[in-house]
Chains A and B, each alone.
Chain A
Amino acid sequence: MSFRFRLIAIVVVAIVALAGLNLAALDQVRTLDTENFAAHRAEARRLVATRLSEFFDELDSTAINLSKPREIVNALAAADNEALYDWSSAFVGNADHTMRVTKIAFVDNTGFVVARAPDEFRFGDNVSASLLFRQTKHDGSFVGIAPIDGKPHLVATRVLRKYDDLPVGGVAVSTPITPKILSILAGTDTVVLSYVDSDTAISSTGTLPAGHAISGVDLAVPQGRGHFRLDFLPDARRERMLRLQSALSFGAIGASLMTLGALLFTLRRQLAPYQTIVGGLLEYANRATGLSGLRDRLARLRGQPGEVGQVADALSQMIDQVDANFRSIARYAGQMEEMARADALTGLANRRGIEEALEGEIRRMRRYGGHFAVIITDIDHFKSFNDRFGHPTGDAILRCFAEILHANSRTTDVISRWGGEEFLLLCPDTRLDAAAAHAEKLRAALQGTAFPEGARITASFGVAECTPSDTLATLVARADRALYQAKSEGRNAVCASASLRD
């Protein structure tokens, strides 16, 4: 699993977990709200039932208060409309202004309405046929719902008794069931209180809630017909809250996805250069590319803003440094190699160097054909010079000798110090005659040169051409024998091996 994948996985897991927690919290709020709503319904039902009960209590207590005073009883007994009206008008009010008693009527034993409030001059009608009148007369009182003037009313009645004994009539205290009254009883506009009986349906909102109510409960009526019904409407505030919750849920998911996308995009952007760096390093490690290839890759990142640019710069600089180090090491190694093949005193190839060159040339000739020759030369009577002038002058003579060989040879010729005062020249593409001529040229040059301390120096030369059957040893031995020949012939001479018979 790559680092990148792991990083992305960590981000995804974190965001999914956060979104999950968010949704769980929202769900909990929703659950709480559902519970609250159930509690709210129970409370609303209790409140409405209480208000209704208080309403009936108030009607009943007014009926009792109007049935007790002797003056009222006597007024009813004497059909004193004015006194009864005076009493009742003091108790009625407008239901729209929270007064609950809106109608009072005094009725005598025959059902004749003696007085009525607030309609001062509407009396004299007979209600003896009404169920309310008969029930009151029979039971002494009534608390509940009954039709008055053809419409359902909340009513309380009491019988009035002279001497607290003989019935003289009754008082009816009432208020009509109107949308306004029902709305006061309902208390809030999210609750619809309705009165329903076989003929009538009245609701606090004017119309009965049909399909749009969430739930409903029925409330009983103390006496009389019909019943109350309580319906719960969707609460606009709650609806808004639920909508908000949904929006928040979607918002949480959306925000999580967007964050995730943005993070991945950013990561990808931020990681890409690193990936280039790491990829390049891995390729380098796997020998798929060299330092220059790695540097080319990094060059693309150079100058990028921020950390990546700095890292790429640093790496490039390191690579440059390493590359430079490698180059100097290589150079140094070359020099070491050269030094191993060169003679310290004369700067010419040493014995090891010329042997390698000779073997290489032998291999080349065997493979490709062609010719080459070798010349061995030895300074005549060098020991006596050493003895006479000392070693430092001997060394100077050797250096001078080497310079003369070098100066008078072709650039392709390899000149070496074979050992002591003995030198060997490898002459590529050279036949025996040409090599002998070259040796003669060298001998002549030596003869005409002034050496240090005024020494007169001569040298003897042995020349041999390589044959296909030669090895290093046989070639050099033949040249050596030629040299010996030259020495024996009196020195300061050139002798070619062809002239010798092995």
Chain B
Amino acid sequence: MRAFAALALALLATCATARAAEIRLGIFPSNDPAKLYAVMRVLGDYLAAHTGDTYTTVVTRDYEELEQRVRERTVDIAWVNTLNYVRLAADVPAARYLATYMERNETTGRITPFYRSYVVAAAASGIADLGAIRGKRFAFTDHASTSGYAVPHQMLEERGIDPGRDFASVVFLKRHDRVVEALLAGSVDAGAISDGTYFTALRSHGDALRILAESDPIPLDAIVSSGSLPPATVRRVKAALLAMQPDDAFCHAMRTTLGWNAAGFAERDDRFYDSVRKLSRVP
């Protein structure tokens, strides 16, 4: 099966050389843009090697900007977060699903297309459980973030905590790593981050954060085409993505640069993201 895929990929690559495209690869700013540019260059190199096309990276200002640029087709291929994907699938008919990003689970070691959202508190804050979180200062990442806002917001609501009323203050820090920094600095008491961010912090800062709540598995980010490329080119890219091995240089770069346990890409169908669709109503 793997041999066949490689053969097909080689064939595709041969065809592609005839009409090599310049492809703009967009991604949302989940982390420090400089780090994102570094790892996306590795992905671009991988794709270029397997498709013969050339790739440039665009890290957008925020989640919404990426959504907007897919809508406007000013990026060709976009790495969008779950929430963005659900919105794009609903609003932008030209956008096409290509693949779902996969990670190796930190605790089980299994490769899955899921991740989780954690509500955490700084160990130094003395907050032991969700019950103690009322009246404290809370940090989300971004209104458009799945694990940094939509999912934890719902989790808090389900536990009877109204983020709009029950916190002393709520602040939006945009990126997951900034939430960790603010918690460590004592500027906020609790916040919402992805499990990958938590494990990265665990590696670099030790047991400085305490997990107060853990979400159900959330479908991981999706790779979409904006509709700007010819179908053949899109097929080349999709095949190359699905052919990526978990030990690829890109996955290695993701781990070392961002601390994410990247493990390649898998193809799912649109219903895979249904669990998130009900979250998109979150204010």
Tell me, yes or no, whether A binds B. Answer: yes
Binding site for B on A (CB under 8 A): 78-83, 108, 110, 112, 114, 120-125
Q: Which residues of B contact A114 (CB under 8 A)?
A: 169, 171
CA–CA, A446 to B139, complex, Å? 183
Q: Which residues of B contact A121 (CB under 8 A)?
A: 178, 181-182, 184-185, 187
CB atoms of A120 and B172 under 8 A apart: no
Q: Which residues of B contact A125 (CB under 8 A)?
A: 187
CB atoms of A123 and B170 under 8 A apart: no
CA–CA, A82 to B178, complex, Å? 8
Central interface residue in B143, B173, B188, by most chain A CB within 10 Å = B173
CB atoms of B175 and A82 under 8 A apart: yes
Instruction: Answer whether residue B174 sits at the interface, using C-beta atoms and an 8 A cutoff.
Output: yes
Closest to A110 in B: B169
Q: Which residues of A contact B128 (CB under 8 A)?
A: none
CA–CA, A108 to B167, complex, Å? 14
Q: Which residues of A contact B143 (CB under 8 A)?
A: 78
Closest to B29 in A: A82
CB atoms of A83 and B181 under 8 A apart: no
CB atoms of B184 and A82 under 8 A apart: no
CA–CA, A425 to B180, complex, Å? 170
The 8 A-B residue pairs with the shortest CB-CB distance, nearest first, are A82-B174, A121-B185, A124-B187, A112-B169, A79-B171, A123-B187, A121-B181, A80-B172
Chain A nearest Cβ from B198, distance in angstroms? 17
Q: A120-B181, A121-B181 known; A83 and B174 CB under 8 Å? A: yes
Q: Which residues of B contact A82 (CB under 8 A)?
A: 172-175, 178
Chain A nearest Cβ from B135, distance in angstroms? 12
CA–CA, A120 to B171, complex, Å? 13
CA–CA, A82 to B175, complex, Å? 8
CB atoms of B172 and A123 under 8 A apart: no
CA–CA, A66 to B28, complex, Å? 26
Chain A nearest Cβ from B70, distance in angstroms? 22
Instruction: From the candidates A81, A112, A122, name the one contacting B172 in the complex (CB within 8 A).
Output: A81
Chain A nearest Cβ from B228, distance in angstroms? 28
Binding site for A on B (CB under 8 A): 137, 139, 143, 168-175, 178, 181-182, 184-188
Q: Which residues of A contact B137 (CB under 8 A)?
A: 112, 124
CB atoms of A122 and B185 under 8 A apart: yes
Chain B nearest Cβ from A304, distance in angstroms? 102
CB atoms of A124 and B174 under 8 A apart: no
CA–CA, A110 to B188, complex, Å? 16
CB atoms of A124 and B181 under 8 A apart: no
CB atoms of B169 and A81 under 8 A apart: no
Chain A nearest Cβ from B143, distance in angstroms? 8
CB atoms of B178 and A122 under 8 A apart: no
CB atoms of A81 and B178 under 8 A apart: yes
Closest to B170 in A: A79
| Chief secondary structure at chain B's binding surface | mixed
Chain B nearest Cβ from A18, distance in angstroms? 79
CA–CA, A80 to B64, complex, Å? 14
CB atoms of A80 and B187 under 8 A apart: no
Q: A108-B169, A110-B169, A124-B169 known; A80 and B174 CB under 8 Å? A: yes
CB atoms of A124 and B172 under 8 A apart: no
Chain A nearest Cβ from B126, distance in angstroms? 16
Chain B nearest Cβ from A363, distance in angstroms? 153
Chain A nearest Cβ from B177, distance in angstroms? 11
Chain B nearest Cβ from A469, distance in angstroms? 166
Instruction: From the candidates A79, A81, A83, A110, name the one contacting B182 in the complex (CB within 8 A).
Output: A81
CA–CA, A216 to B172, complex, Å? 51
Interface contacts beyond A82-B173, A108-B169, A123-B182: sample of 17 additional A-B pairs, CB < 8 Å, sorted by A: A78-B143, A79-B172, A80-B171, A80-B172, A81-B139, A81-B178, A82-B175, A83-B174, A110-B169, A112-B169, A120-B178, A121-B178, A121-B181, A121-B185, A124-B137, A124-B182, A124-B186
Central interface residue in A79, A114, A121, A122, by most chain B CB within 10 Å = A121
Q: Which residues of B contact A83 (CB under 8 A)?
A: 174
Chain A nearest Cβ from B201, distance in angstroms? 13
Central interface residue in B172, B182, B184, B188, by most chain A CB within 10 Å = B172
Chain B nearest Cβ from A83, distance in angstroms? 7
Q: Which residues of A contact B181 (CB under 8 A)?
A: 120-121
Closest to B182 in A: A121
Closest to B187 in A: A124
CA–CA, A362 to B139, complex, Å? 168
Central interface residue in A108, A120, A122, A123, by most chain B CB within 10 Å = A123
CB atoms of A78 and B182 under 8 A apart: no
Q: Which residues of B contact A123 (CB under 8 A)?
A: 171, 182, 187
Chain B nearest Cβ from A73, distance in angstroms? 15
Chain A nearest Cβ from B142, distance in angstroms? 8
CA–CA, A82 to B169, complex, Å? 15
Q: Which residues of A contact B184 (CB under 8 A)?
A: 121
CA–CA, A120 to B178, complex, Å? 9
Q: Which residues of B contact A112 (CB under 8 A)?
A: 137, 168-169
CA–CA, A124 to B188, complex, Å? 6
Instruction: Pull 12 A–B residue pairs with CB atoms less than 8 Å apart, ordered by A.
Output: A79-B169, A80-B174, A112-B137, A112-B168, A112-B169, A114-B169, A120-B181, A121-B178, A122-B185, A124-B137, A124-B187, A124-B188
Closest to A121 in B: B185
CB atoms of B187 and A78 under 8 A apart: no
CA–CA, A172 to B20, complex, Å? 53
Q: Which residues of A contact B185 (CB under 8 A)?
A: 121-122
CA–CA, A78 to B169, complex, Å? 11
Closest to B172 in A: A80
CA–CA, A120 to B184, complex, Å? 12
CB atoms of A81 and B168 under 8 A apart: no
Chain A nearest Cβ from B258, distance in angstroms? 17
CA–CA, A124 to B183, complex, Å? 10
Chain A nearest Cβ from B65, distance in angstroms? 12
Q: Which residues of B contact A122 (CB under 8 A)?
A: 185, 187
Q: Which residues of B contact A120 (CB under 8 A)?
A: 178, 181
Closest to A119 in B: B185
CA–CA, A230 to B216, complex, Å? 67
